[in-house]
Structure 1
């Protein structure tokens, strides 16, 4: 089958859900045309402070993917200028026509994705619903993205929801919908029970720092455990408070292998997110990363974490900073998972299990099958 995949991230970015979804499709000899993302919001002043990310090596197994990079001006929310991007998109539309697809999968709503879906209305459209995308934006950009999201939901033949919140937002009376949670590249991790013994009591956070990151939680942990060290690893997309305690290490973005080595020194993995409409739709990959490293996890009570906590004793959640001490003590008392439990968790959350043949068959032929 020939599949056009509109990705929300670049193929040369850090490996995420789209990379693994497409990788699994390739294992069953499907051909994929990967359409790179383009700006779907208006420029903002903060963009001037964002450092250009260096491209990473292409993920193993994706070398057979055809790549299309649409040209676009950052004016998508301004409908009066649609004709400009329409001209620029002619090359992409020609590439898709020449590819002659059997299926279209959209990993992010956009005018281009909706335009292609309308132009190829006789082809099934699948929407991989990973985020409430409009919540990332403000003003006219937010309204524009909300419109594109509604449009793609109205036109989709099937929706793949990455969280329970997104699953429940879909009108399942009209749409065939399945839930496929996020996963993790757990097959390349060090053996379980490889935590490094250190004299320091360490917490770790791996992931982006953006406006959903709760600095109040970090401050509270530092106050409760003043002799501990909090290692924060990942790119920063928002300002960092200047009055933070001194027992915080900022590493910035680094190779996955190096981040894992730092995480193996920690006693607890942290997910200190604000609780809002954006995080309510999230199933964070870092949860699977921490637990695949045998780490207990402390998380704020958002999104899919509320459901994970019902069946994972190694996850402790808190409503606000006033009860974070209880969650921390519970996680510390729990300790590390043994080798058997870690191996079981790794297998369950692996991307090859998330997008297994049964799941892919249900997507490609349009048969409903909840993968929860």
Structure 2
């Protein structure tokens, strides 16, 4: 029976995202056993990491380890940008490498790389008989700086040359990788159909509208845009839910409410209380290749969406219920137009079916 080794960009016991949805899909389609490899540090530590350690992680209830899945933590020192780091860390990886060898021994297997790393490249060499995929979920080097960024970019190129196919999660990444490889498949992000279907739209009505955002607020979050919206809608509430990394704008209007992170089910229920969904990201190298999952969840809940002009959202300008902001001066007009949008439950259901994770991965025709 086919097996799957998945090198994840995030731990199994974390908020369920694309990697979790992929291995769930793979298991349901094949009945295969899965070996999930948690990430290890692939850059030098920074002082800002201490801030992240102080933020309480929110884990999804579904992150409990099912019987068909094994999670291993390879370990290693945070020295990967240095030449020869793989030789040093191989000492720490001995047990993980042995377990991976035993897992695939004598069985057809897929090796899926969810994040470029020296360990991923080593496994592609070591398990050359396995079918392989690089799931390019982000422009990973853009999240790094200096030596770490250059090293990761080189590592990513080596991995891309070795795998059988590259999956790109956005049209920007698709275009980027097609300059180097023909074997590229666009596999956009999607949504958890069962989770969104279980949420009921809030029936309460009020003249005070809620413009809401659920997600991480870090360096890419446009606080100036949020402040401009709040100032333009002083009688409404701007509700922001999620972990905050770094600092927000020094002075925010009183109608901006920042709430802590919550699990996925609670996040979807919170979205159901919004009148308009927000995606206020800065337009830069980091966001140029982003296809935000919250877009799909907002629309599956029949929410109109106001987004800044970045990444995949740029391609959605003109779609029903989607309002793309190009500057601080157009926010008030877009907010008024979004509130006038009708919310059609049947259209939302059809949208959810079309953009479910199952639909995404089935369309990729991986043939496991």
Residue 347 (structure 1) aligned with residue 353 (structure 2) = yes
Identify the range of structure 1 (252-261 vs 111-120) with the bigger mean alpha-carbon deviation.
Answer: 252-261
Give per-residue Cα distances to partners, 1:294-322, cap 9 Å, x unaligned: 11000011111122334x21110012222
Please point out which of 52, 66, 69 is paired with 1:65.
69
Tell me which of 22, 30, 33 is aligned to 1:31.
Answer: 33
Query: How far apart, CA to CA, are the structure 2 residues paired with 1:69 and 1:145?
Result: 20
Q: Secondary structure at the match of 2:274?
A: coil
Counting only pairs closer than 5 Å after superposition, residues 205-284 of structure 1 correspond to structure 2 as: 205-284=213-292
Partner secondary structure for residue 279 of structure 1: coil
Name the structure 2 match of 1:83.
87
Conservation of the 8 A alpha-carbon contact between 2:15 and 2:58: no
Quick check: 1:294 aligned with 2:297? no
Cα gap change, 1:53/1:81 in structure 2, threshold over 3 Å: closer, same or farther?
A: same
8 Å contact from structure 2 (residues 80, 86) kept in 1: yes
Counterpart residue number, 1:132: 139
Task: Using the TM superposition, give the Cα deviation of residue 110 of structure 1 relative to its aligned residue in structure 2, in angstroms.
Answer: 0.6
Q: Secondary structure at the match of 1:260?
A: helix
For residues 152-199 of structure 1, the C-alpha deviation after alignment (integer angstroms, 9 at most, x for no partner) is 111121011110001111136743111111011132334565443234
Displacement of 1:104 in angstroms is 0.7
The answer on 1:14 being equivalent to 2:15 is yes
2:122 & 2:211 partners in 1: Cα distance?
46
Seen in structure 2, the aligned counterparts of structure 1 residues 172 and 27 have a Cα distance that, compared at 3 Å, is farther
Cα distance in 2 for partners of 1:191, 1:39 equals: 36
Name which of 364, 367, 371 aligns with 2:367.
364
TM-score with structure 2 setting the length:
0.92
Normalising by the residue count of structure 1, what TM-score does the alignment of the two structures yield? 0.91
Determine helix, strand or coil for the equivalent of 1:48. Answer: helix
Distance 1:60 1:88 in 2: 26
Gaps of 5+ in 1: 366-372
Match of 2:159 among 152, 173, 187: 152
Secondary structure of 1:159's aligned partner: strand
Q: 2:125 aligns with which of 113, 118, 124?
A: 118
Gaps of 5+ in 2: none
CA distance in 2, matches of 1:56, 1:265: 21
SS of structure 1 residue aligned to 2:178: coil
Counterparts of 1:294-333 in structure 2, within 5 Å, are 294-310=302-318, 312-333=319-340
Q: CA 1:195/1:347 → structure 2, altered by over 3 Å: closer, same or farther? A: farther
Q: CA distance change for structure 1 residues 85 and 281 in 2, over 3 Å: closer, same or farther?
A: same
SS at match of 1:230: strand
Once residues 165 and 300 of structure 2 are traced to their aligned partners in structure 1, the CA distance between those partners, rounded to angstroms, is 31
Following superposition, the deviation at residue 326 of structure 1 comes to: 3.0
